[in-house]
Structure 1
Amino acid sequence: MIWKDPVSRALLSAITLSSVGVGIHLLAMGQLLYDQTGSPEAFALILTLQGVAAFCVLPLCGPLVDSVDSKWVYVGCGVGRAVTVLVIVAIATTAQEGLIPYIMGAAVLLAVFDNVERSALFKFTAHHINATHVVRFNSLIGVAFQAGALSGMALLGLILTWASPADALLVDATMSVLCALTVARIRLPAPEGNPPFTVASLRGAVTGVVGEWRQMLGPYRKEAVVFVMILMCAADFVFAHSLSTLVVPLVDEFYGSRTWYISVLEASFAIGMISASFFSRHLVKQRLLPLWLLTQCGAAVLLSVSDLGAVHFLAFFLGGFANLNSLTWLLTSLQQHAGDGDKAKMASLRLLAIGLGTALLMPLVGRASATSLSVGFGAVAGIMLALTLCAAWISRTYRPRPAVTAPRPTAVAP
């Protein structure tokens, strides 16, 4: 059982703590920028720049994380993220004029830490979570993230009653520090087999990046479907980012700018993901991947054509339910397909695809939403419909490697 494994418990606790801050961060940043500009385009632009930053850093990130201990990379990124959020708070409270360019610069740095941290989490999971439980664990990552984000959204509603979005970001920074401390206390019974960390080994990892990628990608040259799966990883994140971008103007248009509706709608998405986790054994299937992409497309269509509150909440719930299932299948399949020495590089490829997809597609959503809210959601629906066709091809073509059945050593946490 996952909950009897102290490493799994500690890591899920850390993810929950971090995601409380993320739940605060996404909506507080969206509200801060919408208050400054009156348009969702600024937030969409920040997400685009973060995608570009991920695309630039991740080719180096994978080989580097593969050469060092993933636990301490994760800890360092948590601390770096906290410092970066504090910088954003300082900018927001001292530079009222010309605020957005400075926040965008800090947000780019934030994306660097976030993406390196995700590569470390991918590698940590592959090495330290029992292979027989990895599908369930990956679905619980989504639950931990959404439960934390849900708590963060609720907490943000209380914070904004008495304080500003910039003040709320201080809680985000605190949660990043607590996450780093939780992971730092995990005790592992066996190392990951990384070479001893020295300046020379770090320099060798950097200079050997091209060779590392060539060695990894060589076996996949005849597996085009794997590369399409990697690209498809962007789908779920673009959908979630689009809802987070458009929820503020949605509330402004239909709910009289009552900001607590932002948290409630995003909570519906989170509840959908949490609900899906209870059925992951039955729903996280290769043959169902096109259904989950099509469901997200349908949710965007509902948001585009309806002005009824009940339909909005249903659409967010269905979007979250489908999002977890497709995200979990793609994540688990790529984890299991990568060789033992290529886990972080596979994570980097996945995150590169997410960054590239965000950089290419979020500007389309932003420009469409500038026309009208309905057109913005229509653009999201069109994107998800195109990706549904890719998912249908994957479900018919992909042939997974035989599962690894040998148990991993049980880890001990304090």
Structure 2
Amino acid sequence: MRGVNLGRPGTWLLGGTLATSLGGGMQTLAAGKLLYDETGSIAAFGIVLIVEQLLTFTVPLVAGPWVDRGDPRRICTAIELARGTALIAIGCVMLSGPSPLGWIMAMSLCIKAGQPFYRGAMFSMAPAAVPGAALGTFNAYSNIAQQGGALLGAAVAGVIIQGWGASACFLVTGAGFLLSGLAIAAARMPRPEAEPAAGKGASAGWGPVVALLRTERGFARHLLLGTADNIAVVLFNLLLFALVARHFGGSAYWLSAMDCAFAVGAICAAPALGPLETRLGPKGAVRAGLAGQALCFAALAAGPGGPVVIGLALVLGACNTVSWTTVTTALQLRAGKAVRGRIGTARNLVTAGVSAALVPVVSRLEQRSLGFALLAGAVVVAAYVLLAGAVAGDRGTPGEDGAAGQDGTTRNETSGDEKEVTAT
């Protein structure tokens, strides 16, 4: 991955990703702490999480078409500046007196409502900002920025909460969102193709995506494969507290150590992605990454000692980065320019749907046996390995027949001297 020039737009986008990840890492911790302090229970935070899930299923229906019909860079900039301004204003209010419960919940939901716009716009902007040959490298470094920002945010939040209280975190979180908005505004790039508005309502533009899923062989499978690594993270986070309770007596220190081990593994894997793809090919790299995650879940189910658990969390993070980066790059290149925003939000919708189906089942298994729950996680990720094999055999994958167009046709978006990116 050395020597790859991401260009000024790509560098600015990475800076924005780091800043917004830092803010997100602080906000969740600070909001949870404040809600618990105000109510004395986790019930209020649970209500926020439930409403956030409702937003996850509804807001993307509006966000995807909006991003594709407008300028993703301007939309992303506006979202970040709005979130940053709101957090700083609310932070000032809460620092001046008691923290109103309604303000805390409204602030958390406001941030969550902006995420589908931000994610859809970033998914759409990346191929326009970074040359095709460097897109995989950009996605790998983007993952580093996300993990590093979340780590830094959690660390800074702990210091701020200890010294000045949780309310002060919102000022720094808001500043992070503002910096992200300014960085994205500075990322000058060609504007992706915009689709003319059709139909009534902001969510009336999903017809081309539905047609694409129906007419292009394997695209639906590819979209489903794009949820694999996020699902693995959801399952790991779901079982993390039980793992720490079993092996480390529920220590908050070891909880942080496990979380950090996953993030460090993800960061360390990014520079090795290029050589790994050269040796195994993109399709092989995805299968290897998913298989590695399945084996890690199975090994955790066997109940190894504490140090081994930390090592497995590190390997899990590394394997997650390998497959996530390659699948995301292939999906970005395969999606037509005019529908990339909707494809990005569609992937998030599918992820939320799969999570909603799996989390109750795995949670129920964990009540009976943590080992059974971890084995269920291994089976889920192993099923994605089989799906990756099916996607690899599809025609019309990137690097073969080109990228999918808005109308279900395909077109080649890479020049002859650019690195070939194939579907996984």
- Please give the TM-score of this superposition, normalised by the length of structure 1: 0.80
Counterpart of 2:385 in structure 1 is 388
List per-residue Cα deviations over 1:284-342 (Å, max 9, x = no partner): 51133233222222222333332522122112111111111211122111111112212
Matched, 1:309 2:318: no
1 or 2, which has the higher helix percentage?
1
Aligned match of 1:377 in 374, 377, 380? 374
Using the TM superposition, give the Cα deviation of residue 238 of structure 1 relative to its aligned residue in structure 2, in angstroms. Answer: 2.1
Aligned match of 1:14 in 9, 12, 16? 16
User: 3-state SS of the aligned residue for 2:188?
Assistant: coil
Counterpart of 2:285 in structure 1 is 288
Counterpart of 2:79 in structure 1 is 77
Q: Which has the higher contact order (CA 8 A, sep 6+)?
A: 1
Change (3 A) 1:21 1:207: closer
Change (3 A) 1:87 1:323: farther
Provide the C-alpha distance between the structure 2 equivalents of 1:234 and 1:33, rounded to a whole number of angstroms. Answer: 31
Using the TM superposition, give the Cα deviation of residue 369 of structure 1 relative to its aligned residue in structure 2, in angstroms. Answer: 4.0
Matched, 1:255 2:248: yes
Provide the C-alpha distance between the structure 1 equivalents of 2:88 and 2:40, rounded to a whole number of angstroms. Answer: 22
Using the TM superposition, give the Cα deviation of residue 12 of structure 1 relative to its aligned residue in structure 2, in angstroms. Answer: 0.5
Counterpart of 2:184 in structure 1 is 183
Change (3 A) 1:205 1:275: farther
Aligned match of 1:243 in 214, 236, 241? 236
Using the TM superposition, give the Cα deviation of residue 87 of structure 1 relative to its aligned residue in structure 2, in angstroms. Answer: 9.1
TM alignment of 1:226-375, pairs within 5 A: 226-284=219-277, 285-306=282-303, 308-371=305-368, 373-375=370-372
Provide the C-alpha distance between the structure 2 equivalents of 1:298 and 1:208, rounded to a whole number of angstroms. Answer: 43
Root mean square deviation, CA, Å: 3.6
The amino acid that maps onto 1:127 is A
Provide the C-alpha distance between the structure 1 equivalents of 2:209 and 2:309, rounded to a whole number of angstroms. Answer: 44
Question: Alignment length, in residue pairs?
Answer: 396
The amino acid that maps onto 2:265 is G
Provide the C-alpha distance between the structure 2 equivalents of 1:222 and 1:17, rounded to a whole number of angstroms. Answer: 39
TM alignment of 1:56-67, pairs within 5 A: 56-67=58-69
Say which is worse superposed, 169-178 or 261-270, in terms of deviation. 169-178
Give structure 1 stretches of 5+ with no counterpart. 196-200, 408-414
Provide the C-alpha distance between the structure 2 equivalents of 1:302 and 1:315, rounded to a whole number of angstroms. Answer: 8
Counterpart of 1:405 in structure 2 is 414
Counterpart of 2:422 in structure 1 is none
Question: Would the aligned equivalents of 2:217 and 2:394 in 1 still touch at CA under 8 Å?
Answer: no
Provide the C-alpha distance between the structure 2 equivalents of 1:296 and 1:45, rounded to a whole number of angstroms. Answer: 31
Provide the C-alpha distance between the structure 1 equivalents of 2:316 and 2:84, rounded to a whole number of angstroms. Answer: 30
Question: Would the aligned equivalents of 1:3 and 1:9 in 2 still touch at CA under 8 Å?
Answer: no
User: 3-state SS of the aligned residue for 1:266?
Assistant: helix
Change (3 A) 1:371 1:347: same
List per-residue Cα deviations over 1:131-186 (Å, max 9, x = no partner): 22111111111111112222223324434544555554543333112211222233
Provide the C-alpha distance between the structure 2 equivalents of 1:158 and 1:301, rounded to a whole number of angstroms. Answer: 36
Change (3 A) 1:48 1:394: farther
User: 3-state SS of the aligned residue for 2:206?
Assistant: helix
The amino acid that maps onto 1:111 is K
Provide the C-alpha distance between the structure 1 equivalents of 2:313 and 2:285, rounded to a whole number of angstroms. Answer: 20
Change (3 A) 1:115 1:370: farther
Change (3 A) 1:172 1:2: farther
Change (3 A) 1:194 1:387: closer
Provide the C-alpha distance between the structure 2 equivalents of 1:10 and 1:178, rounded to a whole number of angstroms. Answer: 11
Give structure 2 stretches of 5+ with no counterpart. 403-411, 417-424
Provide the C-alpha distance between the structure 1 equivalents of 2:163 and 2:273, rounded to a whole number of angstroms. Answer: 40
Question: Would the aligned equivalents of 1:19 and 1:148 in 2 still touch at CA under 8 Å?
Answer: yes
Provide the C-alpha distance between the structure 2 equivalents of 1:254 and 1:23, rounded to a whole number of angstroms. Answer: 25
User: 3-state SS of the aligned residue for 1:306?
Assistant: coil
Using the TM superposition, give the Cα deviation of residue 252 of structure 1 relative to its aligned residue in structure 2, in angstroms. Answer: 4.6
Provide the C-alpha distance between the structure 1 equivalents of 2:29 and 2:246, rounded to a whole number of angstroms. Answer: 17
Provide the C-alpha distance between the structure 2 equivalents of 1:133 and 1:15, rounded to a whole number of angstroms. Answer: 17
Change (3 A) 1:302 1:128: same
Counterpart of 2:149 in structure 1 is 148
